[in-house]
Amino acid sequence: MAKLKIQKLADALGAEVSGVDISKPLSKEDLGEILAAWKEHLVLRFRGQELTDPQLLEISRNFGEIDPPGPNSYGKPFIADFPDINVISNIKVGEQPVGGLGDGEAVWHADMTYIDTPPKASFLHALEIPPTGGDTAWGNMYLAYQALPAHLKQEIKGRKAIHDATYNSAGMIRKGMKDVTDPREAPGAHQPLVSKHPESGLPCLFLGRRRNSYILGMDLDASNQLLDELWAHIDNPEFTFTQVWQLHDLILWDNRCTLHRRDSFDPQSRRLMHRTQIKGSPVIPFE
């Protein structure tokens, strides 16, 4: 029987897990090794995993309780039989999109940090992929925090920012939300700019997404300037791993200490991903 193997994918973060059929119940030893690798590498890739939706849900439950997807732009779950599965796709049946985020760029973000208790983890499973484009990158926010210049660490110490709930990472407005023109009035959770990871206890830069973010207690221009500096800092290949998808790749990431983004792809091609997420806990400020 193949032995479980962990191989680094990039210096910053990411590892490949091989020698395991994740569609079958995991042994205690294999699950232990996977959890340890996840803690070390933050993003794990399992290649060649052809999974049904119930299997994807079952695998996800190894990591905690399933967290249902946030509201999408269309107001109802994409898969009626499996409302806990989110669909990321540009495919339409007639005029009806089968999933969210379309074919454009999805900007840097962490999932659902606009609520007080964002998910701790997400799984993304590739069911159809375009011939090129649609790559997804993850950034290590432990590293990003460590590498911040001392003056920026000082400026963000103890501060919180609004994580806007209005728009998704493709810039679409969420169902029931109104357009926001002044970030100070954006609806959404107030999260510390530096969080303490609940398991490692280490500090991470915790930014959510740039659009409509606002650092509480600051003048709006000063807040925008500081946020622009922080976002320019994180957009650095030294902190990232980029995934070029293969069919039936399954990726798991830690949503508490990473950000992710996705490249655009040819609208004439098809991309279909099924996603689950795992319930987290309130974000802890690093003091």
- Residues lying near ligand SIN in the complex (CB under 6 A) are found at 88, 101, 106, 124, 136, 169, 260, 262, 273
Q: Minimum CB separation from ligand SIN for residue 219, in Å? A: 32
**What is the closest distance, in whole angstroms, from the C-beta atom of residue 89 to ligand SIN in the complex?**
9
Q: CA-CA distance, 152 to 21, in Å (whole number)? A: 45
The dihedral of CA 282, 188, 139, 64: what is its sign?
positive
Residue nearest to ligand SIN (CB): 136
What is the amino acid identity at position 104? G
Buried b (16+ CB within 10 A) or exposed e, 131-141: eebbbbbbbbb
CA distance 114 to 251: 23
Nearer to ligand SIN, 196 or 260 (CB): 260
Residue 73: CB atoms within 10 A of its CB come to: 17
Identify the helix (H) or strand (E) that includes residue 64.
none
Nearer to ligand SIN, 160 or 260 (CB): 260
Quick one: tokens of 6? Answer: 């962990």
Residue closer to ligand SIN by CB (options 101, 252) is: 101
User: With respect to ligand SIN, which residue has the nearer C-beta, 88 or 180?
Assistant: 88
CB of 93 to ligand SIN, least distance (A): 19
Q: CB 91 → ligand SIN: shortest distance, Å?
A: 13
Nearer to ligand SIN, 223 or 276 (CB): 276
